[in-house]
Structure formats: structure tokens, C-alpha cells
Amino acid sequence: MEKMRIAIAGISEMRWRGNGTTTTSSGNLVMHSGTKDGGRSGVGIYVSKQYKQALISWSPVSDRIIIARFRCKARHITIVQCYAPTEDASDDIKDDFYNALTSSLTRIERGYIKILMGDFNAKIGPKNNGLETIMGRHGVGTRSNNGDRLIDLCQTFQLVIGGIAFPHKEIHKYTWTSPNGHTRNQIDHICISRKWRRSLMDVRNRRSDHELIIGELLIKLRRNSNTVNRTTRRPPPINIQRLSESNLSTRMATTLREEMTTQPLNHSWEQTCSILRSTAEEMLGTRQRRRTDWTSAHTWELISKRNSLKSKADHDCRARDEHKELCKMVKKSARNDKRKLLDKLAENAESAANTNNMRSLYQIISQLTGSCHRRTQPVRDTEGRLLTGDEAQLQRWRQHFMEISCTEQPSSTQDNFRSIVPSHNLRVSPTAPSIREIKDAIRKLKRNKAAGDDGIPAELLQINTQLMAETLHPHFNNIWERKNRANNTR
């Protein structure tokens, strides 16, 4: 499995005792379902170590059926691996198997992508008259009784038999060869929900004594997230570009002063943020993130034509050829549209560079290059040697903070971060900042910077620096008073 880079595999005639999971030495996962004494039956599902995190749950139904559920970005996937009775088995045994299989498929939640695969011991054949929606014309052999049962099951649950839908040489269609090498049959199949037929890219065998049938599925799996989802989202950015409009900033400052005077003297910082945010949203509005629609009308017309032929392409050869040609034309037209967009952005970047508009230039460069993650810089000691251990890096950070705080290092090393913070800092004034100092600090704030978690940008505070300084002064006093009380209690 690792050599052929198989992500998920179904195994028939596994012959393992009982039910359970096994992790291989290389980290791959094997789930199995069998009888107590083993026997010739038994089924299992192999999952590579790269996709173990996508597994939601699994359940053994019997020694012939096992079910596994996987998390996927599009829809969750339910894989049913089975091992059907042979053609020589009695009708009662076949009925029991297909009744259990029908019950298992019925319990799958609506909206899941169903993948039914395994050794069905069923010959389908190439004839698909009246069955074009569930099978193609590329089968091998003559349809058997098990084949009729499988077709009825696929019709009931809207499944498509994948191995018969793709044209291949016959040597790539056979899934079982007799020991004498004279008899070959196509009895192993992979079926998928008809709605997701286009996600199944190919199905063919890999030649061995009992042919391995492989299907290529173009669906991205997603890992199970153990983190708790955030209940609150960052508010949308305020449209601060409107502050350049005449008289708008003056009217907004007047409104803010009226709102602030109605609040009590000891109101909290959350109330102040709420007033600033609500007033700004009411008068300036928010800035909605919009995606650039670079696809031309000609491309959209080709896409609509291609989509109209999608349903006919499964059972009409002419429609299939026309659909393939339209797919090529859509890709070519989309590439041309994308190239025109890049050329336009390059011209805008050149124009911004010539006019010394660095902000627009860097925005265009960021749009062209995409998001870039900042790399973590290594920690080095005072002599430039690289520190690899956690304790050595922590000691170096402790030494750095002591140097910038102009205090002596403590003699004992403690894991608590509070031990590296000095009890008295000469750079911090013991008294709270005045209104004038707060006003000067607001004026020095840089513009065009992202707002914090409160969603208050610097431009909003700079509308009226005197008003904002008077508003923030009580909050700074409360901070200094709480800090002094905490120092006195130590």
C-alpha cells in the first residue's frame, strides 16, 4: 500500500479474528471485522498515516461488511467495504447479505458521499440499455445473478459503478484470474454516489494474482479539529476612507462628544469601545471584503454551455466529446482572463512606483504574491552561537529582558515568567499619564495599520485628540491604581 501510495484501501477475505483496529509499525491504521474463529471471510479498511486524522468513526457490521466515515471539505465520505457471497452460494445467503447491506446504506446520513466497494463476485457486462445513469459500456463478460443484485442496489441508492465507466484495455479491467490462468472475470467494483460521479477520475486494476482495483478520487479530506471554535469573530473593518469627506470628521467628533457626556464617569473600557464602534459604523460604515471578478463574459458563456452538457456526457458519445472540447476551451479562456488581470495589476504597480505611492505598490505586490507566513528566527546567545534547547532559549530570553529593564539578574532560575519581570522599572513613571501626554501619544500613532481585537483603528482616535485623551484618561488612572495596589500587597 505504501509503495503504491494508496490513501484508503478496502480488504476482502481478510480472515482476522474479531473486530478491532491495528496500527502498523509505520503508523498506518487497519480496521477489521470478522468472526470469532476467523474463517475465510472477514473485511477490513486500510488508512494511511497521512489520512488517519480525517477518520471520524468506523463500525463493524458483520464479517462481510464494515463502514468507515471520513471528514471531507466538500461533504463527509462514508466508505462501505464488503465481501459478497460467491455465485454458487444459496439464495438465502445472498438475500441475508444484501438485506444487511441495504440496511447499512439506509442508515448513512443524507448528504454524505457514499462509496461502496469490495469483492462482489458480480459480473456486470457491457450492456447498459436503460441503465446509462448507473453504469457505462466498458464491462467485461456476461451479467450474472450477483450482477443483477448489485445493479438493483445501485439503482435504489443512486450509485454509479465506476469500473465500467472508464475505457481501458481488457487486461486492465479483469479483477480475478483463475489459478490455471484461463478464466478471467471482472467481479470487484467501486461504486460512488451519482451526484459525485465527476469526482471519480479513474478506476482500473493493478495486476497481481488477485487483481487490485484502484479508484482515483479527487476530493480533499480534512483533519478532525480538536480546538474549540471561536464563538466571536473580529468585527469587520471600519471604512475610514470616508473620513476624507468634508465635514464628516467634524460631525462625527460632535456626535462622539455627545455620546461620551451621557455616560457615567466610572464607565468601563468595553462601554467606551462600544460607543466608538457603533458611532463609526453608523456614520462611516464598514468595509466589506470583495473578491475580484476577473472572469470574462465569454468564459462564463462557455461554462454554462459545458454545464448543460454535463448530464448528457455520461451516456452520449457525441455529447462526451463536445463536453471534453468545451472543458479545454473553458480552461484556455480562463487562463487568458487571468493573464489579463495580472497584466493590469503589473501596470498599476508600475504606475504606483512611478508616482511614489508605496502603499498601493505594496498592496498590489501582496495581492500578486499571496499570504506569506513569517518565519521564526532562531535564538542565539551573546556570542552568536545557536541555542537549540528549550531551557537555554528561556534563559537567553530572561537575560535579554533583564538587560533592557536595567536591573540585575536574579540568582535563581525560575520557570514562572513573573520572576523575570523586575519589581521596579525605572522607565515606567509611578504616576499615571496626564491628558497632554495621552494626547501626544495619540497624535504619534501610525495610520493605515490593522486594528486590534476591539476593531478601533488609529484614525478613529485621531478624529479629535483632545476628546479621546479626556476619554482615555480615567481608564489609565484605573490601571495605575490597580497596579499600585497590587505592588503594595506583595
Positive or negative, the CA dihedral 294, 298, 300, 303 is negative
Residue 87 lies in a domain: yes
Average pLDDT over residues 154-163: 91
pTM: 0.49
- Report the SS3 class of residue 97: helix
What is the spatial distance between Cα 30 and Cα 20, in angstroms, rounded to a whole number? Answer: 8
Say if residues 82 and 118 touch (Cβ distance below 8 Å). yes
Residue 171 lies in a domain: yes
Confidence of residue 224 (pLDDT cuts 50, 70, 90): low
Domain boundary among 183, 217, 251: 217
Mean pLDDT lowest among 122-126, 292-296, 305-309, 428-432: 428-432
Mean pLDDT lowest among 129-143, 239-253, 405-419: 405-419
**30 and 172 assigned to the same domain:** yes
Residue 38 lies in a domain: yes
pLDDT at 204 over 90: no
Q: How many CA atoms lie within 13 A of 329 on its CB side?
A: 16
pLDDT at 48 over 90: yes
Take residue 23 and report the three cell numbers written for it: 496500527
pLDDT at 12 over 80: yes
**118 and 154 assigned to the same domain:** yes
List the Cα angle 157/159/165 in 5-degree steps: 160
Residue 400 lies in a domain: no
Confidence of residue 222 (pLDDT cuts 50, 70, 90): low
Confidence of residue 33 (pLDDT cuts 50, 70, 90): very high
Q: In the sheet that 8-12 helps form, which strands lie side by side, from edge to edge?
A: 8-12, 38-47, 29-35, 19-23
Say if residues 460 and 240 touch (Cβ distance below 8 Å). yes
**146 and 195 assigned to the same domain:** yes
The CB density around residue 11, as the number of other CB atoms within 10 Å, is 21
**178 and 278 assigned to the same domain:** no
**205 and 67 assigned to the same domain:** yes
- pLDDT on residue 66: 95
**190 and 281 assigned to the same domain:** no
Confidence of residue 374 (pLDDT cuts 50, 70, 90): low
Confidence of residue 215 (pLDDT cuts 50, 70, 90): confident
Residue 397 lies in a domain: no
Domain boundary among 369, 389, 416: 369
pLDDT at 46 over 90: yes
Average pLDDT over residues 199-207: 85
**253 and 332 assigned to the same domain:** no
Kindly state the DSSP code that residue 174 receives in the 8-state scheme.
-
Compute CA 3 distance to the chain's CA centroid, rounded to the nearest angstrom.
27
Domain boundary among 217, 244, 267: 217
Cα Rg of the chain (Å, integer): 34
Select from 173, 145, 156 the least CA-distant residue to 116.
156
pLDDT at 257 over 80: yes
- pLDDT on residue 387: 77
State the residue range of the domain holding 326.
Answer: 297-369
Position 67, amino acid: I
**188 and 276 assigned to the same domain:** no
- pLDDT on residue 425: 47
Q: What are the strands, taking DSSP E only, across 187-297?
A: 188-193, 200-206, 212-217
Residue 65 lies in a domain: yes
Helices vs strands, H then E, count in the chain = 11, 14
Kindly state the DSSP code that residue 456 receives in the 8-state scheme.
-
**164 and 267 assigned to the same domain:** no
Confidence of residue 228 (pLDDT cuts 50, 70, 90): very low
pLDDT at 78 over 90: yes
Q: How many separate domains does the chain show?
A: 3
Say if residues 163 and 186 touch (Cβ distance below 8 Å). yes
Q: What is the CATH number of the domain that holds 104?
A: 3.60.10.10
Q: Which residues contact 146 (CB under 8 A, 6 or more apart)?
A: 84, 85, 87, 94, 120, 121, 122, 123, 187
Take residue 261 and report the three cell numbers written for it: 457626556
What is the spatial distance between Cα 428 and Cα 441, in angstroms, rounded to a whole number? Answer: 15
pLDDT at 282 over 70: yes
Average pLDDT over residues 228-257: 75
Mean pLDDT lowest among 239-248, 271-280, 367-376, 416-425: 416-425
Positive or negative, the CA dihedral 208, 30, 100, 93 is positive
Take residue 88 and report the three cell numbers written for it: 454458487
CA distance between the termini of the chain: 64
What is the spatial distance between Cα 370 and Cα 365, in angstroms, rounded to a whole number? Answer: 8
Average pLDDT over residues 275-289: 82
Select from 21, 33, 42, 41 the least CA-distant residue to 60.
33
188: left (phi over 0), alpha (psi -120 to 50) or beta: beta
**178 and 82 assigned to the same domain:** yes
Take residue 288 and report the three cell numbers written for it: 466589506
pLDDT at 409 over 50: no
More confident residue, 318 or 99: 99
Average pLDDT over residues 386-394: 79
Query: Average pLDDT over the chain, rounded to whole?
Result: 83
Say if residues 371 and 363 touch (Cβ distance below 8 Å). no
- pLDDT on residue 419: 47
**24 and 112 assigned to the same domain:** yes
- pLDDT on residue 340: 93
Mean pLDDT lowest among 103-117, 137-151, 400-414: 400-414
pLDDT at 92 over 90: yes
- pLDDT on residue 232: 55
Mean pLDDT lowest among 142-146, 245-249, 286-290, 415-419: 415-419
- pLDDT on residue 86: 92
pLDDT at 352 over 50: yes
**103 and 36 assigned to the same domain:** yes
- Helix, strand and coil content of the chain, in percent to the nearest 5, comes to 40, 15, 40
- pLDDT on residue 417: 44
What is the spatial distance between Cα 146 and Cα 135, in angstroms, rounded to a whole number? Answer: 15
pLDDT at 436 over 70: yes
pLDDT at 411 over 60: no
Residue-wise pLDDT for 306-334, tens only, equals 888 877 776 677 788 888 899 999 999 99
Take residue 426 and report the three cell numbers written for it: 525605572
The H or E element containing residue 115 is strand 113-119
Kindly state the DSSP code that residue 225 receives in the 8-state scheme.
P
Position 18, amino acid: G
Q: What are the strands, taking DSSP E only, across 267-386?
A: none
State how far the alpha carbon of 23 is from the alpha carbons of 1, 26, 45, 143, 434, in Å.
14, 8, 12, 39, 65
Average pLDDT over residues 353-382: 78
What is the spatial distance between Cα 11 and Cα 47, in angstroms, rounded to a whole number? Answer: 11
Q: Which residues contact 419 (CB under 8 A, 6 or more apart)?
A: 410
Mean pLDDT lowest among 77-81, 106-110, 285-289: 285-289
Residue 376 lies in a domain: no
Residue 265 lies in a domain: yes
